[in-house]
Amino acid sequence: MRVLVTGGAGYIGSHTLVELLTEGHEAFVFDNLSNGHEEALSRVKQLANKDFGFVKGDIRDGEALDKAFLEFKPEAVIHFAGLKAVGESVEQPLAYYENNVAGSVELLKAMGAHDCKKIVFSSSATVYGTPQYLPLDEDHPVSPVNPYGQTKLMVENILKDWAQDGRSATALRYFNPVGAHVSGRIGEDPHDIPNNLMPYIAQVAIGKREALQIFGDDYETRDGTGERDYIHVTDLANAHIAALGTMNEAAGFSVYNVGTGQGTTVKELLAAYGETVGQELPFETVQRRSGDVASSVASPKKANEALNWSATLSVHDATSSSWNWQAQNPDGYAQ
């Protein structure tokens, strides 16, 4: 299939491109590089041993989208482009509504103008808000607690309305993506101090940061630290390809959790990373981060059954691939 990938130069987009190209699909990347890396695209080409087009453009720019659609004539879109920092979304909500919501509307308009009828969208488990029960299934009520989560839910709702008359949309609600490509050639390269747990631990392991701050150890979990469902980025990438395979004229709108069904606490993840690196990693316990929940774990049953997809990689695969990437590229993509 000819697939336009918005945000393809980012963390999850670049890993998905490798799997997409390896599976024999053709790709074209549309990314404004606000948080992506052109170097990641060169490395994807080497890993997949296949070329693809790239345009530096913004999804809020209808003309740029039109040009890309005219040039590439995609049959489907995988839509990763957007802003993703929860804290920043509280400080700059309009930037989030503009990039994530208005940008997605522009993208759908371009798809309409060019008769492209399939889209896979990066949603997030954050749409569930505070869990009322665990594991979270897709019927759990949605109630995002920050502007970032609101943008994801809004786009899901827009897609629900859009996906009729032969158009189909699949929203994948990612749990916590982690790890890197097995080669260590591509991985997560945060532009700033990492907000997320695994890239922070990786920087502690390489000596860039002194110690992990554990945000609270008085939660109602096995060891008091927050529990999450960490999904390996390569498994996540493959969920997009599985989703594309199920989309047809009658498909309409679907939503799936993408997780493993297994919870891991902060202390467990830190210990697993330490085992990978061969030394215990330093930490200090600080107060809870506002907005964090004790536990978030997926029921991936719907995706397992309907997409015939399931996670195959372990937390250990995630820590070892993350370390492989971090050790080979201590400064990320910077040369």
Contact residues toward ligand NAD (CB under 6 A) are 6-7, 9-13, 31-36, 58-60, 80-84, 99, 103, 122, 124, 174, 177
Amino acid at position 218, single letter: D
Our CB check for ligand NAD shows the closer of 36 and 252 to be 36
Q: Which of 4, 117, 103, 113 is nearest to 61 (CA)?
A: 103
Residue nearest to ligand UDP (CB): 226
Strand ranges, E, within the chain: 2-6, 26-31, 53-56, 76-79, 118-124, 168-174, 176-178, 212-215, 227-228, 230-232, 253-258, 264-265, 283-286, 295-296
Residue 213 contact, options ligand NAD, ligand UDP, none, Cβ 5-8 Å cut-off depending on partner type: ligand UDP
The count of residues in the chain is 335
Which is catalytic among the residues 11, 128, 148, 273?
148
Cα atoms found within 13 Å of the Cα of residue 281, Cβ hemisphere only: 31
Q: From the CB of 44, what's the least distance to ligand NAD, in Å?
A: 12
Which does residue 174 bind out of ligand NAD, ligand UDP, none, counting CB within 5 to 8 angstroms by kind?
ligand NAD
Omega prior to 190 cis, within 30 of 0: no
- Tokens (6 digits) for 112: 């309409």
List the single partner that 80 binds among ligand NAD, ligand UDP, none, CB under 5 to 8 Å by kind.
ligand NAD
Examine the residue annotation and report whether 96 is marked as an active-site residue of this protein. no
Give the separation between CA 29 and CA 68, rounded to whole angstroms.
Answer: 9
SS3 133: coil
Q: Are strands 118-124 and 168-174 parallel, antiparallel or unpaired?
A: parallel
Contacting residues toward ligand UDP, per CB under 6 A: 176, 195-197, 200, 212-215, 226, 228, 266, 289, 292
Q: Which does 177 bind (CB under 5 to 8 A by kind): ligand NAD, ligand UDP, none?
A: ligand NAD
User: Which CB, 41 or 277, lies closer to ligand UDP?
Assistant: 277
Whichever of 97 and 215 has its CB closer to ligand UDP, that residue is 215
Using the minimum distance from each CB to ligand NAD, give the nearer residue, 187 or 252.
187
Nearest distance in Å: CB 25, ligand NAD: 18
Write out the catalytic residue numbers.
148
